[in-house]
Amino acid sequence: MKLTQCTPATIIEPFRIRSVEPIRFTTMEERQKLLSKAGYNPFLLKAGDVLIDLLTDSGTGAMSSAQWAGMIASDESYAGSSSFGRFESAVQDITGFRYVIPTHQGRAAENILFSTIAKPGMTIPNNTHFDTTRAHVENNGAEALDLVIDEGMDPEVIHPFKGNMDPAKLRRAIQERGVAAIPVIMLTTTNNSGGGQPVSMQNVREVSAIAGEYGIPFFIDACRFAENSWFIKTREEGYDDKSPIEIAREMFSYADGCTMSAKKDGMSNIGGFLALNDEKLAEKCRSLTILTEGFPTYGGMAGYDMEAVAIGLYEALDEGYLRYRIRSTAYLGEKLADAGISIVQPPGGHAIYIDAKKMLPHIPPLHYPAWSLTNALYLTGGVRAVEIGSVMFGLQPDGSEKAASMELVRLAIPRRVYTQSHVDYLAEAVIHTYRQREKLKGYRMVSAPAVLRHFSAKLEPIT
C-alpha cells in the first residue's frame, strides 16, 4: 500500500511566528472604568487595555521577515532614493499606472486628488465612499454620491459581488448632474463601508466603459485590491485559473488611476500612494504633494516604509496567503451565523460586520445600536470593534443628524496577527454578548467635533 498525502480540511496560517507581543487580560470591572474614562468611545481606549483589537485592519498587520530585511537595507536619501525606485516599480508593475506619487497614507492621496479636481457643485460617484473619502470630497465642497447595487444595502441578501456599483444609477447620476459636474468616478475595492464586499471584474469593466463613454476619468480606491482579486478568482466565471496578480493587473487596466492605503493590502504599518496615467494631472498632484506631504520621491514616508510596501504589495497577492486570509474571515462569520447572529452575508474580505439593527431592535437608530454593541463587546470580552452606523455617518454637512442606512459593528481582522484560537475566543465573546442582547442600552452624544466625529466624540449610556 502506498502512502497518500494528507489533504487537510483545515487551512493553516501560512507562516510561523518568530516574534511575539503579549496581550493583557483585564476584568469586566476594570473595563467598565476604562470605557467610562474614554467617554464610551472605544477609539479613546488605550490599546494596552484591549485584549483582541479589531478596531481596524489598517496598519495593524504583522510584517514579514522579508519586509524587515528590506527596511534595514533602505535608502533614506531625500530625493531619488533607490527605495523610491523599488516602490515605484512595484506599483507600476502591479497597477500599470505611469505616475506614482507616494503619500503617508490613503487619505493623503484622497486629499491630493480631490483638492485638485473636486470643486463646489461637483459630484463624485462611488459604490460606497469610505468615511475619509467622503470627508475629503465634502471638504472640497463636492457631493459624495453612493451608487452601490440595491443588494449591497441589504445585509441578508446573498450576492457574490455586493460591492458592485449600479450602472443604471451611475448613468442617471451623470445625466442629471451633467458630465462637467463629475470630475471622477470611483470604485472602492473591496467596498469597506458596504461590508467589505467585492466588486466583480465585469462591474469594473462596465463602470469603466460608462466613464469612457462620457470622457470622465475612472479611479479605483485600491486599499483591498488583493482581497478583491481573490474573490474574483473564486467567484467569477473565467478567473479560477488566473493568479491574483494577473487579476489585479486586469482590474487596474480598466482605470485611469487609483488611490491606495498601503496600510491594508500593502501589508505595511504606514504608507499609501496616488497612481495615475494623466501627465498633466500628475504634475498638479505632485505640486500639492510637495506642499502637504513631502518631496515626490518620498511623500510622507521614510525610505524603509517604501521598502515595506514594495515587498508587501506582492505578499498580499500570494495565493497561499489570500486563501488563508479570506478563509479565516469566513470561519469567524460562520461561527457567528451558526449561533443565530445576523451578519452581512456573505462574509467580506477583511472583516465581519454584525447587523446591530437586527440584533437590537429595542434601540432606535439615533440611540446608536451599533455603538452600544461595540461597547458591550469590550465590556464582556475585552474585544475592540468599530461602529459603522449613525455615529460614523449620521452627522450631515449642515449639522443635522440622520440615521445611517445600516447599523453595523465591524470586526476587522489585522493581517497575519491573530491565530485560530484567538478567533475561537472572539466568537465565544460575541456569542456570549448576543445571548444577553436585551440588556443592552442606547447611547447619547455628549460632545462631538464637526467632522469625522466617531474618532473623538464622547458619549454616555441612556439609563
CB–CB of 458/40 below 8 Å?
Answer: yes
Site for ligand F0G in 318-377 (CB under 6 A): none
Nearer to ligand F0G, 64 or 128 (CB): 128
Rule CB under 6 A: is residue 103 a binding residue for ligand F0G? no
Cell of 20: 511575539
Residue with cell 485559473: 241
Rule CB under 6 A: is residue 58 a binding residue for ligand F0G? yes
Give the residue, chosen from 31, 86, 107, 357, that forms a contact with ligand F0G under the rule CB under 6 A.
107
Strands of 231-330, DSSP E: 257-261, 272-276
Nearer to ligand F0G, 64 or 103 (CB): 103
Rule CB under 6 A: is residue 261 a binding residue for ligand F0G? yes
CA–chain centroid gap for 380, Å, is 26
CB–CB of 201/247 below 8 Å?
Answer: yes
Dihedral over Cα of 256, 261, 264, 265: its sign = positive
Q: 52-53 and 383-384 as β-strands: parallel, antiparallel, unpaired?
A: parallel
Nearer to ligand F0G, 132 or 433 (CB): 132
Rule CB under 6 A: is residue 130 a binding residue for ligand F0G? yes
Nearer to ligand F0G, 367 or 453 (CB): 453
Stretch that binds ligand F0G, among 35-43, 128-136, 138-146, 177-185 (CB under 6 A): 128-136
- At its nearest, how many Å lie between ligand F0G and the CB of residue 188? 5
- At its nearest, how many Å lie between ligand F0G and the CB of residue 373? 17
Cell of 375: 461597547
Stretch that binds ligand F0G, among 101-109, 135-143, 246-254, 437-445 (CB under 6 A): 101-109
Rule CB under 6 A: is residue 221 a binding residue for ligand F0G? yes
Contacts of 446 (CB under 8 A, 6+ apart): 39, 457, 458, 459, 460
CB–CB of 227/322 below 8 Å?
Answer: yes
Q: Which of 362, 382, 369, 363 is nearest to 430 (CA)?
A: 382
Stretch that binds ligand F0G, among 104-112, 150-158, 302-310, 356-364 (CB under 6 A): 104-112
CB–CB of 62/324 below 8 Å?
Answer: no
Rule CB under 6 A: is residue 299 a binding residue for ligand F0G? no
Q: How far apart are alpha carbons 96 and 163 in whole angstroms?
A: 23
Rule CB under 6 A: is residue 263 a binding residue for ligand F0G? yes
- At its nearest, how many Å lie between ligand F0G and the CB of residue 105? 3
Contacts of 60 (CB under 8 A, 6+ apart): 53, 263, 269, 414, 415, 417
Stretch that binds ligand F0G, among 130-138, 316-324, 332-340, 449-457 (CB under 6 A): 130-138
Give the residue, chosen from 272, 312, 348, 381, that forms a contact with ligand F0G under the rule CB under 6 A.
272
- At its nearest, how many Å lie between ligand F0G and the CB of residue 394? 18
- At its nearest, how many Å lie between ligand F0G and the CB of residue 49? 19
Stretch that binds ligand F0G, among 78-86, 99-107, 140-148, 422-430 (CB under 6 A): 99-107
Give the residue, chosen from 63, 223, 267, 326, that forms a contact with ligand F0G under the rule CB under 6 A.
223
Nearer to ligand F0G, 56 or 197 (CB): 56
CA–chain centroid gap for 126, Å, is 14
Cell of 276: 495615475
- The residue type of 176 is E
Nearer to ligand F0G, 219 or 434 (CB): 219
Q: Which of 21, 9, 50, 48 is nearest to 385 (CA)?
A: 50
- At its nearest, how many Å lie between ligand F0G and the CB of residue 222? 9
Rule CB under 6 A: is residue 56 a binding residue for ligand F0G? yes
Instruction: Using the CB atoms, write b or e for 160-195: b if 16+ within 10 Å.
Output: ebbbbbbeebbeebbeebeeebbbbbbbbbbbbbbb
By CB under 6 A, the count of residues binding ligand F0G is 15
Q: Which of 199, 214, 206 is nearest to 123 (CA)?
A: 214
- At its nearest, how many Å lie between ligand F0G and the CB of residue 136? 9
Give the residue, chosen from 164, 192, 203, 228, that forms a contact with ligand F0G under the rule CB under 6 A.
192
Q: How far apart are alpha carbons 415 and 223 in whole angstroms?
A: 13
**Interacting residues toward ligand F0G by CB under 6 A:** 56, 58, 105-107, 130, 132-133, 188, 192, 221, 223, 261, 263, 272
